[in-house]
Chains A and B, each alone.
Chain A
Amino acid sequence: MKKLSIISLFALILLSLSACKSANDSIPLILYNEVDPFILEFKKHIFHYASGKVDIDSFDSQNSQLLQNEIIENMLEENRSVLIINPVDRLGAYTIIDKVKEHNIPIVFINREPLEVDMYSWDKVYYIGAPAENSAMIQSEMIHSLFKDPLDLSDYDKNNDNIIQLVLLKGEQGHQDAEIRSEVVIEELEHLGYRIEILSIEVCDWQESIAYLKMNDLMKNLEDPIELVISNNDAMALGAIRAMEEQGLFSDDNKDGVIDRETEPWIPVVGIDGIETAKLSIDSGRLYGTVINDSEEMSRALIELVEALQNGEDLSNLSYELENGKYIWIDYRKYEDQEEAN
């Protein structure tokens, strides 16, 4: 009896030591960088839609693929049921797929789309995002509504040469969205019949501060007047506006808190993403327009997909179309200033 109790005591100790590792039910959301305001907003929406349905655990990769790889390794050890990954480096996503495939855990990529060839290397890989060219098309539509007629440009053609002199603020080099947005917006404008002159293409890595610095330089060095600034995202657009404000543009002369486009100096700037600060900037007459990268709708779709994956449900019953069994596309939406919307 005594021996038995001693043995069971030892067994208990061993058991409690070994029981430290246990499966975690919550689903990891591994973001590329929480400094990115769009990502922060996306995260907020994801948590909003997840509440009461799935448990989400969020991780910040701090813009380091190495750190992200470490996080993923830990998640694999914890045997999570689904991984939501916003890759730091879309080119490296194939390694994530290869690695996770060994553990047979479905992956949902968001925000940054892995190469098509990688997406099709395993059937349990999904992507939820917006079609990049769609945002550029909407952007070009907004520009079209500003200049009205390709053959007879509106007053915004300051030098009256019937050519739009523009500056393009490009996101990260090699980032698919940056490339496509840049390419498509120009193509579309040309397709609509506009003659354009690209004064400069500035790669600003999606960042407000870099856009601010580069725009500052451009304002000082460019001889031609800038008639349009096209930005791949809102953050860079806001950075450019900040630089232009310091150069005397967007001055609120009558101090009414709103830039009056008829009387006060301004240059149209269009962004993409529709983050809160961008919307405020539009409302105060600074940013001309933005395209909402509908992270709210994406979050709704994401949670629906994740829930279905977790419960092993049939994905064909989703309320979103699952293109080729892999992609859920959430279209961009236009966001204009309130006056015009009214």
Chain B
Amino acid sequence: MAKKQYTLSIRQSIFYPSILIVLISILTVSMILFFNFRRTTSEIVEDSSKEINKQIILNFENYINSVIDTANYIQEKTVEYGLRANQVGLDDVYAQAAEVQPDIESIVLLDRSGHYLVRSTNKTVSEEDLTKKEWFIDALSDDSIYHFSSPHPQDIFLISSSEVITVTKVVTYYYNEVEYQGILVIDINTSNIITLTETTNLGENGHIVIINDDDSLIYSNNTACVTDECQSLQISREIIFGGRSVDIEGTDFYANVNTLRNTRWRMATFINTDVLSTTSANTLWIMALITVVTFFITMTASSIISRRISSPISRLKDHMAKLEHGDFYKKIEIDGQQEVVSLTHSFNSMIEEIQGLMDRIITEQKSKRKTEFQALQNQINPHFLYNTLDSIVYLSENKMNDKVVEMVVALSKFFRISISRGQNIIFLKEEIEHARNYLLIQQIRYNNKFHFHFEVEDSVLNYKVVKLSLQPLIENAIVHGISTEYDEGLITIRAFQEGEDLIMEVEDDGFGMTSEQIQDVYERIQYSSEGKSVGLRNVYQRLKLYYGDKAKFLVDSELDERTTIRLVIPIEGAL
């Protein structure tokens, strides 16, 4: 399956990931922060709403308890007075209790048929049958608890028309030491309940709803809930008890419903929490702004950084492209990061190295070709061959058959070694043999004008040496050392080991050389490419080429005494 591969440049691979990383982290962080913030704030709002609800309920319960306490007190007193058969003082006790709590309109003790036994006030009582009243029936429905009625106009006395809540309970009383069941009736003015709801701050439009155990409305300070059906009332019914966030006509509220202790009522508080959604929205906007700003900052920064990193590299890249096309000789200077600078330096020194290597290769190639050429020329020196053949002809004409044979054999051996199956390296003994044949031929040619002498250690015979390294030296010795007409010259060839070196020497006893001449020879073999001493230079250069700097070519001379050319080859190269 062929898949298209996208390769990104350095700049892109810095730019895109950094943008992506920053974007993802910012989004994640803002999301986490936002949700954390929202959760925390809504927890705070929820907690404070619950706290407010608790407080209101506590206020109401305290109030209810104070009423119950009064009722308990009345009950205790009723029993106490009844037990002491002191009925007279009870009216005063009732009146006092009602006075202590100003919101208590009246306290009345009725018998089971609805007749007055004790009352806190002298107001004229109505003639109605109280046993038909809802609160009377309620009281009898369960004689173990206090019953709290819905707010209704006061209906025991004729004059007052205030709105009251009637608290009733079946109680025991004694008359003439006989126990009876009666009904204690306490009317509380609703104004106090209204005051209680006003003391707590529920926020704008915050309100309370009190509902009965049959889900009917007892009281609400929300004007919308004066009628029996309103949204708050329905919510209160649904919740039963507990808290949750609700939306009433576009406003956020936290609704809390709890029972009021000692009653069958439950109270719902609706606390305005619009502020929560507003802060929440604000925070979201701030988060979004931060994200966008950070995104742009990152984009710019990352773009600048990636360009700064990538531009020196791409310059280097361009330069390398030139190298690909064969331009080796241009160096480059780049400013930038450490790595790039050192890369540039390495690149430059690499170029230098390449240049040096290439120059050396070219020189070596040239030198090699020339040497081979020279060697070939030396091997088949036509003059040498003509002269030798002329000598052979001369010897035959003079019937010197022995000499002819000697010469032809030497010539034959000479060429055999010269050719030597094309090998450049041969055993020293072969090189010595070659030299000897050469000397024999030249001796006959020069009519015994010189003698020669070999001093070769047996131990070095099997070392290997560069072919034709002795013959040019001998040729030189014959030409320069033996040109006198008077003396017979002597040429000594030596080969021995000295320490780690193999030494080969060719010595003549000719005129010798001054030190200037020796210096001249050194210069010619090293630097000159033409003119005299071609043979010596050939040997010198081949020596250096093959053995490197360890090989030495030394000229030593005493005037009118001798000249010695010594070749020093490291043994390790001769094995």
Contacts A91-B259, A94-B213, A173-B68 given; does A70 touch B242 at CB 8 Å:
yes
Check: B54 CB closer than 8 A to any chain A CB.
yes
Check: A176 CB closer than 8 A to any chain B CB.
yes
Q: What is the size category of the interface that chain B forms with chain A? A: 20 to 34
Please, how many angstroms separate the alpha-carbon atoms of A66 and B57 in the complex? 9
**Which of B76-84, B281-289, B335-343 makes up part of the contact surface?**
B76-84
**Which of A146-154, A196-204, A310-318, A323-331 makes up part of the contact surface?**
A196-204
Of the residues A66, A173, A201, contact of B54 by C-beta under 8 Å = A66
Q: Please, what's the 1-or-0 string for B31-59, where 1 marks a CB less than 8 Å from any CB in chain A? A: 00000000000000000001001100100
Of the residues B53, B68, B264, contact of A94 by C-beta under 8 Å = B264
B261 in contact with A115 (CB, 8 Å): no
Contacts of A96 in B (CB 8 A): 241
Check: B92 CB closer than 8 A to any chain A CB.
no
- Scoring A91, A98, A183, A197 by chain B CB atoms within 10 A of each residue's CB, the highest score goes to A91
Contacts of B261 in A (CB 8 A): 65, 88-89, 91-92
Q: Which B-chain residue is minimally distant from A195 (CB atoms)?
A: B177
A197 in contact with B259 (CB, 8 Å): no
A91 in contact with B241 (CB, 8 Å): no
B145 in contact with A174 (CB, 8 Å): yes
Check: B266 CB closer than 8 A to any chain A CB.
yes
Q: Which B-chain residue is minimally distant from A178 (CB atoms)?
A: B144
Give A69-126 interface residues, CB cut-off 8 Å to B. 69-70, 73, 88-89, 91-92, 94-96, 98-99, 102, 115
Contacts A66-B54, A70-B242 given; does A89 touch B142 at CB 8 Å:
no
Chain B at the A interface: mostly helix, strand, loop or mixed? mixed
Q: Please, what's the 1-or-0 string for A166-197, where 1 marks a CB less than 8 Å from any CB in chain B? A: 00000001101001100100100010000001
Q: How far is the CB of A171 from chain B (nearest CB, A)?
A: 12
Please, how many angstroms separate the alpha-carbon atoms of A183 and B75 in the complex? 13
Please, how many angstroms separate the alpha-carbon atoms of A198 and B240 in the complex? 43
Contacts A65-B258, A98-B240, A115-B142 given; does A197 touch B172 at CB 8 Å:
no
Q: Which B-chain residue is minimally distant from A73 (CB atoms)?
A: B242
- Scoring B57, B76, B80, B213 by chain A CB atoms within 10 A of each residue's CB, the highest score goes to B213
Please, how many angstroms separate the alpha-carbon atoms of A266 and B356 in the complex? 126
Contacts A174-B68, A200-B80, A203-B72 given; does A69 touch B54 at CB 8 Å:
no
B242 in contact with A174 (CB, 8 Å): no
Q: How far is the CB of A199 from chain B (nearest CB, A)?
A: 8
Q: Which A-chain residue is minimally distant from B238 (CB atoms)?
A: A102
Q: How far is the CB of A98 from chain B (nearest CB, A)?
A: 5
B146 in contact with A174 (CB, 8 Å): yes
Residues of chain B at the chain A interface (Cβ within 8 Å): 50, 53-54, 57, 68, 72, 76, 79-80, 83, 142, 144-146, 172, 179, 213, 240-242, 258-264, 266
Residues of chain A at the chain B interface (Cβ within 8 Å): 65-66, 69-70, 73, 88-89, 91-92, 94-96, 98-99, 102, 115, 173-174, 176, 179-180, 183, 186, 190, 197-198, 200-201, 203
- Nearest first, the 9 closest Cβ-Cβ pairs linking A and B are A92-B259, A99-B240, A73-B242, A89-B261, A95-B241, A69-B241, A98-B240, A179-B144, A173-B72
